[in-house]
Structure 1
Protein backbone atom coordinates (compact mmCIF):
# COMPACT_ATOMS: atom_id res chain seq x y z
CA UNK A 1 0.00 0.00 0.00
CA UNK A 2 1.30 3.43 -0.87
CA UNK A 3 -0.37 5.15 2.08
CA UNK A 4 -1.05 2.61 4.81
CA UNK A 5 -1.81 5.39 7.30
CA UNK A 6 -4.82 6.47 5.20
CA UNK A 7 -6.66 3.22 5.86
CA UNK A 8 -4.93 1.40 8.72
CA UNK A 9 -7.49 -1.42 8.75
CA UNK A 10 -6.76 -2.21 5.11
CA UNK A 11 -3.03 -2.06 5.72
CA UNK A 12 -3.40 -4.54 8.58
CA UNK A 13 -5.53 -6.90 6.48
CA UNK A 14 -2.94 -6.83 3.70
CA UNK A 15 -0.07 -7.39 6.12
CA UNK A 16 -1.88 -10.30 7.71
CA UNK A 17 -2.74 -11.91 4.37
CA UNK A 18 0.83 -11.67 3.11
CA UNK A 19 2.21 -13.06 6.37
CA UNK A 20 -0.20 -16.00 6.19
CA UNK A 21 0.71 -16.81 2.58
CA UNK A 22 4.42 -16.47 3.23
CA UNK A 23 4.08 -18.52 6.42
CA UNK A 24 2.34 -21.34 4.56
CA UNK A 25 5.03 -21.42 1.90
CA UNK A 26 7.79 -21.25 4.51
CA UNK A 27 6.27 -24.14 6.45
CA UNK A 28 5.96 -26.25 3.30
CA UNK A 29 9.58 -25.63 2.36
CA UNK A 30 10.71 -26.39 5.91
CA UNK A 31 8.73 -29.67 5.96
CA UNK A 32 10.41 -30.56 2.67
CA UNK A 33 13.80 -30.25 4.37
CA UNK A 34 14.81 -26.68 3.51
CA UNK A 35 16.57 -24.98 6.46
CA UNK A 36 14.28 -22.49 8.24
CA UNK A 37 16.13 -19.31 7.22
CA UNK A 38 16.32 -20.40 3.58
CA UNK A 39 12.68 -21.52 3.68
CA UNK A 40 11.64 -17.99 4.70
CA UNK A 41 13.75 -16.43 1.94
CA UNK A 42 12.33 -18.81 -0.67
CA UNK A 43 8.80 -18.10 0.52
CA UNK A 44 9.40 -14.36 0.14
CA UNK A 45 10.89 -14.89 -3.31
CA UNK A 46 7.96 -17.00 -4.49
CA UNK A 47 5.33 -14.60 -3.12
CA UNK A 48 7.02 -11.50 -4.52
CA UNK A 49 7.47 -13.23 -7.89
CA UNK A 50 3.78 -14.11 -8.00
CA UNK A 51 2.71 -10.59 -7.10
CA UNK A 52 5.00 -9.00 -9.67
CA UNK A 53 4.01 -11.49 -12.33
CA UNK A 54 0.33 -10.76 -11.82
CA UNK A 55 1.00 -7.08 -12.48
CA UNK A 56 3.07 -7.87 -15.58
CA UNK A 57 0.54 -10.38 -16.93
CA UNK A 58 -2.33 -7.94 -16.52
CA UNK A 59 -0.42 -5.04 -18.03
CA UNK A 60 0.81 -7.02 -21.03
CA UNK A 61 -2.24 -9.29 -21.31
CA UNK A 62 0.17 -12.17 -21.66
CA UNK A 63 0.61 -15.18 -19.41
CA UNK A 64 3.89 -16.28 -20.98
CA UNK A 65 6.02 -14.48 -18.34
CA UNK A 66 4.12 -16.31 -15.59
CA UNK A 67 4.82 -19.68 -17.18
CA UNK A 68 8.49 -18.88 -17.78
CA UNK A 69 9.10 -17.72 -14.22
CA UNK A 70 7.10 -20.62 -12.77
CA UNK A 71 9.57 -23.02 -14.38
CA UNK A 72 12.53 -21.09 -12.99
CA UNK A 73 11.07 -20.89 -9.49
CA UNK A 74 10.30 -24.62 -9.56
CA UNK A 75 13.91 -25.37 -10.52
CA UNK A 76 15.18 -23.11 -7.76
CA UNK A 77 12.99 -24.80 -5.16
CA UNK A 78 14.02 -28.27 -6.31
CA UNK A 79 17.64 -27.31 -5.77
CA UNK A 80 17.03 -25.88 -2.28
Structure 2
Protein backbone atom coordinates (compact mmCIF):
# COMPACT_ATOMS: atom_id res chain seq x y z
CA UNK A 1 0.00 0.00 0.00
CA UNK A 2 1.26 3.51 -0.71
CA UNK A 3 1.08 6.57 1.51
CA UNK A 4 2.70 9.97 1.96
CA UNK A 5 5.20 10.71 4.73
CA UNK A 6 3.59 13.23 7.05
CA UNK A 7 5.85 13.56 10.09
CA UNK A 8 9.23 12.10 11.01
CA UNK A 9 11.40 12.55 14.10
CA UNK A 10 15.02 11.52 13.43
CA UNK A 11 15.73 11.24 17.18
CA UNK A 12 13.09 8.54 17.76
CA UNK A 13 12.94 7.29 14.13
CA UNK A 14 9.15 7.40 14.37
CA UNK A 15 6.45 9.47 12.73
CA UNK A 16 3.28 9.16 10.74
CA UNK A 17 2.06 8.71 7.20
CA UNK A 18 -1.10 9.86 5.47
CA UNK A 19 -3.07 7.24 3.59
CA UNK A 20 -4.51 8.33 0.26
CA UNK A 21 -7.87 8.96 1.95
CA UNK A 22 -6.18 11.42 4.35
CA UNK A 23 -6.12 9.10 7.36
CA UNK A 24 -2.99 9.59 9.49
CA UNK A 25 -1.35 6.37 10.70
CA UNK A 26 1.64 6.45 13.08
CA UNK A 27 4.74 4.28 12.73
CA UNK A 28 7.42 3.40 15.25
CA UNK A 29 11.19 2.93 15.00
CA UNK A 30 10.80 -0.79 14.29
CA UNK A 31 8.71 -0.07 11.15
CA UNK A 32 11.19 2.58 10.01
CA UNK A 33 14.19 0.28 10.61
CA UNK A 34 12.50 -2.59 8.75
CA UNK A 35 12.44 -0.47 5.59
CA UNK A 36 16.19 0.18 5.62
CA UNK A 37 15.84 3.95 5.34
CA UNK A 38 18.22 6.49 6.86
CA UNK A 39 16.01 9.57 6.56
CA UNK A 40 12.45 10.44 5.64
CA UNK A 41 11.15 13.84 4.51
CA UNK A 42 7.52 14.91 4.80
CA UNK A 43 5.83 14.68 1.42
CA UNK A 44 7.80 11.67 0.17
CA UNK A 45 5.75 8.81 -1.26
CA UNK A 46 6.34 5.63 0.69
CA UNK A 47 5.28 2.02 0.56
CA UNK A 48 3.91 0.71 3.83
CA UNK A 49 2.75 -2.60 5.19
CA UNK A 50 -0.21 -2.45 7.55
CA UNK A 51 -1.18 -5.08 10.07
CA UNK A 52 -4.31 -5.12 12.12
CA UNK A 53 -6.94 -7.42 13.55
CA UNK A 54 -7.71 -8.73 10.07
CA UNK A 55 -4.02 -8.81 9.06
CA UNK A 56 -4.40 -6.26 6.27
CA UNK A 57 -1.12 -6.21 4.42
CA UNK A 58 0.58 -4.41 1.62
CA UNK A 59 -2.39 -5.21 -0.66
CA UNK A 60 -5.13 -4.65 1.92
CA UNK A 61 -6.58 -1.40 3.13
CA UNK A 62 -6.75 0.44 6.41
CA UNK A 63 -10.53 0.14 6.65
CA UNK A 64 -10.18 -3.65 6.66
CA UNK A 65 -7.49 -3.46 9.34
CA UNK A 66 -9.59 -1.20 11.55
CA UNK A 67 -12.86 -3.00 10.85
CA UNK A 68 -12.55 -5.37 13.79
CA UNK A 69 -12.28 -2.57 16.32
CA UNK A 70 -8.49 -2.28 16.33
CA UNK A 71 -6.26 0.34 14.84
CA UNK A 72 -4.04 -0.51 11.87
CA UNK A 73 -0.34 -0.67 12.65
CA UNK A 74 2.45 0.14 10.20
CA UNK A 75 5.12 -2.59 10.26
CA UNK A 76 7.28 -1.36 7.37
CA UNK A 77 8.01 2.02 5.78
CA UNK A 78 10.17 2.25 2.67
CA UNK A 79 10.41 4.49 -0.39
CA UNK A 80 8.21 3.87 -3.41
CA UNK A 81 10.30 2.69 -6.33
CA UNK A 82 9.13 2.76 -9.90
Q: Is the structural similarity TM-score above 0.5?
A: no
Q: Highest relative contact order (Cα 8 Å, sep 6+), 1 or 2?
A: 2
Q: Name the structure with the higher helix share.
A: 1
**Which structure is larger by alpha-carbon Rg, 1 or 2?**
1
TM-score by length of 1: 0.21
Q: Name the structure with the higher strand share.
A: 2
TM-score by length of 2: 0.21
